[in-house]
């Protein structure tokens, strides 16, 4: 199995993720290849509690508690990862990063919406894309506000998980909390995972894990970022009284 994965990674790196083909177009191609078949999907292949209504607020509470507890594991996890780097995982995390890169995913999401609405006229895919766009909008604002306010040092600065310098300006090395890649990935893919198949959650999970592995974020950074994106995606997918309109955000009762 691992040999097959290694071969796949080598192929992707050699033939797709090359300097001749910019990552932007690579991301668009992968996105369309992945999402277009969703227009024909009707059920969740993972079948996680489909017969019951999702308890969104219970999930939000659990995520908040879990994210706080994860702070205690930041340093031990970082120490372990730094000592266990491999070439294979380096290549894999470079690939998974694409699914959390805003310059790739946001245009791809808009392209998906446009394709669903004006070309293939798939109402389900169009509605899901709309939920994802709203989720990204809210998550992006929350993520950037926290990054600027917290000013947390990234792991590679060697200042430790307790180093905070609020309002760091343009110093990206002090914008660790929360992870923007993780928050964006969960914001985008949660509506699709909840609508089509929860196996899709493997994509944002791999993005979050990759950011920790690359020593660009603490474990708690990706936990908070993932929670922001997940909560936003769940709210827009399952709570019809939460929506964004052209004049702002409106909650209808």
Residue 230 near residue 63 (C-beta atoms within 8 A): yes
- Residue 15 within a domain: no
- Residue 124 within a domain: yes
Query: What pTM, to 2 d.p., does this model score?
Result: 0.77
- Residue 47 within a domain: no
- Residue 44 within a domain: no
- Residue 230 within a domain: yes
The per-residue pLDDT for range 2-59, each reduced to its tens digit, is 454 455 445 444 544 444 344 444 444 444 444 444 544 444 444 444 434 446 667 6
Residue 146 near residue 189 (C-beta atoms within 8 A): no
Domain with 186 in it: 53-251
- Residue 2 within a domain: no
Q: Residue 201 and residue 211: Cα distance in Å, rounded?
A: 16
Q: Residue 59 and residue 79: Cα distance in Å, rounded?
A: 30
Nearest Cα to 130, choosing from 192, 198, 39, 181? 192
What residues of the chain score a pLDDT lower than 50? Answer: 1-2, 4-5, 8-9, 11-13, 15-37, 39-54, 246-251, 253
Helix residue spans in 12-101 (DSSP H): 23-35, 56-70, 74-82, 87-96
> Residue 169 burial (CB < 10 Å; 0-12/13-18/19+)?
exposed
Structural domains counted in the chain:
1
- Residue 11 within a domain: no
- Residue 167 within a domain: yes
pLDDT > 70: percent of the chain: 71
Q: DSSP letter string over 22-42?
A: -HHHHHHHHHHHHHGGGGG--
């Amino acid at each position: 199995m691992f040999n097959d994965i290694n071969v796949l990674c080598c192929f992707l790196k050699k033939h797709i993720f090359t300097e001749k083909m910019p990552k932007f177009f690579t991301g668009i191609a992968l996105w369309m290849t992945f999402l277009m078949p969703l227009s024909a999907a009707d059920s969740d292949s993972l079948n996680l509690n489909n017969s019951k209504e999702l308890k969104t607020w219970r999930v939000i509470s659990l995520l908040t508690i879990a994210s706080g507890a994860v702070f205690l594991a930041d340093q031990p996890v970082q120490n372990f990862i730094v000592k266990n780097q491999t070439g294979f995982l380096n290549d894999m995390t470079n690939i998974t990063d694409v699914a959390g890169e805003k310059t790739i995913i946001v245009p791809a999401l808009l392209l998906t919406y446009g394709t669903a609405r004006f070309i293939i006229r798939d109402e389900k895919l169009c509605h899901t894309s709309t939920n994802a766009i709203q989720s990204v909008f809210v998550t992006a604002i929350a993520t950037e506000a926290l990054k600027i306010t917290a000013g947390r040092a990234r792991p590679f600065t060697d200042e430790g998980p307790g180093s905070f310098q609020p309002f760091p300006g343009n110093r990206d090395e002090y914008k660790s909390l929360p992870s923007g890649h993780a928050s964006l990935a969960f914001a985008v893919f949660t509506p699709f995972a909840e609508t089509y198949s929860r196996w899709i959650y493997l994509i944002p999970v791999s993005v979050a894990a990759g950011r920790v592995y690359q020593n660009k974020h603490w474990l708690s950074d990706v936990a908070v970022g993932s929670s922001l994106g997940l909560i936003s995606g769940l709210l827009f997918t399952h709570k019809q009284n939460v929506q964004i309109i052209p004049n702002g955000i409106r909650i209808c009762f």
